[in-house]
A = this chain, B = another copy of it.
């Protein structure tokens, strides 16, 4: 039974979340002025100021006053109840800093940190993001670029990595598809509401990602993409993942923006080379002549990004006690054979749930260090077997 103080904290938390949901309609992604005010006043405090009848900003300079006026107009029209209902109607949710599921890597963005994220899909974003890599590139890619994206996607999936991309045509789409085809985990970060299908031709793909993976975004339900939203979306892809792989990008392309964001945030920046005669590889080659690392397959990517000691729990066994796992994850883990490997379908039947649900849980269990994937098979890590034996043989 929760005590009164706990209940008060929970209610305060819900109010803050509600205000943050409202603010995703008010403050544009990556707006650092908004981010600073949010830090200063808190979400509820900021919304209260923006919706107050009396204006306090008489002494402010022109640009700031104009910015605030814009916020006020948007705040007046914000309806978080409607937005939360809209995202719930497509099986989604809203998460924000402080939540269990909030990927704390995003805190590296400081005042440009997303106010919150609208999320569709079953998996736990925080756990997935722990072992994720971004694969991005040109919309108008060549067949070579599409091939490399799909191959990297499936290869990373087979090594237990979550593939993050932007759901665009070309490289992004191929990376998502390659991952899905290998029964892998993939996250689409949209530059619009998670209930908006953009690009239209990817309706089926985005639907499939929402089923088998995660579709996330900073923008409130119904919001549409704009050029600046595409650019700013890229910082979320960069911050969420351990590294970004660029496959085919022209000079000054959006993918290079993602790569440079990744670099600034201390993430790995990688590029897949192509012919020196291809304009679509020129941007990648520019990256590789700087800080970027040349990669040609998933093994090389995994070797590089897997090389972070404190973020590679599977080498040392699970980072969370089994008892703290949610019931479905615990059932999937129980279904794992003590020796050898099992595929997702078999584990799903044993755990009494769907294959998509099971795959989602398996990638979470992978992030937590309980299981590993090799090709199509999943098996317990040594640490998980040791932990299990210790528990069974313990007091």
Contacts and interface: CB of A to CB of B under 8 A. Distances in A.
Interface of A: 144, 147-148, 272-277, 281-282, 285, 288-289, 293-297, 300
Contact of A282 (B148, B277, B296): B296
Ranked nearest first, the 4 interchain pairs of A and B with the lowest CB-CB distance are: A273-B273, A276-B296, A288-B294, A289-B294
Nearest to A148: B276
A273 B285 contact: yes
Contact of A276 (B277, B285, B293, B297): B297
Copies in the complex: 2
Contacts of A300: 289
Contacts of A275: 144, 273-275
23 contacts: A144-B277, A147-B277, A272-B276, A273-B273, A273-B274, A273-B275, A273-B276, A273-B281, A273-B285, A273-B288, A273-B294, A274-B274, A274-B275, A276-B295, A276-B296, A276-B297, A285-B294, A285-B296, A288-B288, A289-B294, A289-B295, A289-B300, A294-B294
Nearest to A144: B275
Interface SS majority for chain A: mixed
A22 to B, nearest CB: 46
A282 B294 CA distance: 11
A272 B275 CA distance: 8
Contacts of A281: 273
Contact of A148 (B272, B274, B277): B277
A296 B283 CA distance: 11
A272 B274 CA distance: 10
Contacts of A294: 273, 285, 288-289, 294
Chain B CB within 10 Å, residue with most, of A144, A274, A293, A294 = A294
A122 to B, nearest CB: 34
A293 B285 CA distance: 10
A360 to B, nearest CB: 30
A281 B277 CA distance: 14
Nearest to A292: B294
Contacts of A148: 276-277
Contacts of A274: 273-276
Nearest to A296: B276
Chain B CB within 10 Å, residue with most, of A275, A295, A297 = A275
Contacts of A147: 277
A285 B293 CA distance: 10
